[in-house]
Amino acid sequence: MAKVRVCNFSISLDGFGAGPDQDADNPLGRGGARLHDWIFLTRSGRSMRGHPDGETGVDDELFSRRDQGVGATIMGRNMFGPLRGPWGDSSWAGWWGSNPPFHHPVFVLTHHPRPSIQLEGGTTFHFVDAGIVAALVQAREAAQGRDVVVGGGVATIRQYLRARLIDDLHLVLVPLLLGGGERLFEDVDLGQDAYECVERINSPSVIHVRLQRR
């Protein structure tokens, strides 16, 4: 059965998925980019930037699974780009350039309508202004029986957790302290028995924890 998943989502030891003072120059906030250093040491992560080298091993294996069985992605507007308010005639098509790494339909949560954007490699961005449930309905239809990934950022994942819509939650615990920013579980009351740990793997860099909804 198709699932709603969060994959490879990095958080600090003090629970932050992004640092403070997020802006166009620091989309993950001050220090937030360090949460993802482990990705760009791996062969799979470096290949996204056109590099043929990189480390193999546990982190590479787990990161390389991120697209397996996935038919659509949902993300918040902050993850798509730094723009705020009405879209206007903006030509902004996301942080990833003309060939984003998704290669399937992506549904962007927004308060402002915008026509879909079709890019290279099979990625089409659709903009949903009717809320998280409407986005999930559209994503499931587009995924055609495959899984839907909720890609972030923090606020978007938090909304889906509060609504009890995440089936599988793969968190990556990064050994650093951010001291501020956006906490993933801020004001999220899941109770003690909502999820069970089904996988915990230590690597030299991070700890991978996968939780499944009971």
Structural domains of the chain, count:
1
pLDDT more than 70, % of the chain: 100
**Alpha carbon distances (Å) from 79 to 141, 145, 197:** 22, 25, 27
Provide the whole-model pTM: 0.94
Tokens of 140: 């499931």
Say if 90 falls within a structural domain. no
**pLDDT on residue 69:** 95
Work out the average pLDDT over 129-144. 98
Q: Are 28 and 18 in contact (CB under 8 A)?
A: yes
Is 90 exceeded by the pLDDT of residue 77? yes
Domain-located, residue 95? no
pLDDT at 123 over 90: yes
| Sheet architecture: strand order including 70-76 | 117-118, 124-128, 105-109, 70-76, 147-152, 4-12, 168-174, 207-213, 195-202
CATH of residue 163's domain is 3.40.430.10
What is the residue range of 169's domain? 4-19+30-83+100-213
**Is 60 inside a domain boundary?**
yes
DSSP of the chain:
---EEEEEEEEETTSEEE-SS--SS-TT-TTGGGGGTTGGGBHHHHHTTT-S--B-SHHHHHHHGGGTTEEEEEEEHHHH-S--S--TT-----TTTTS-S--SEEEEE-SS----EE-GGG-EEEEE-S-HHHHHHHHHHHHTTSEEEEEE-HHHHHHHHHTT--SEEEEEEES----SSEETTTT----SSSEEEEEEEE-SS-EEEEEEE-
pLDDT at 88: 84
pLDDT at 91 (0 to 100) = 86
Q: Residue 83's pLDDT is what? A: 82
Instruction: For residue 88, tell me if it sits in a domain.
Output: no
pLDDT tens across 14-65, in order? 999 999 998 888 889 999 999 999 999 999 999 888 889 999 999 999 999 9
Mean pLDDT of 111-139: 97
64 in a structural domain: yes
Residue entry with tokens 């915990």: 200
Domain contains 91 = no
At 25 the pLDDT is 84
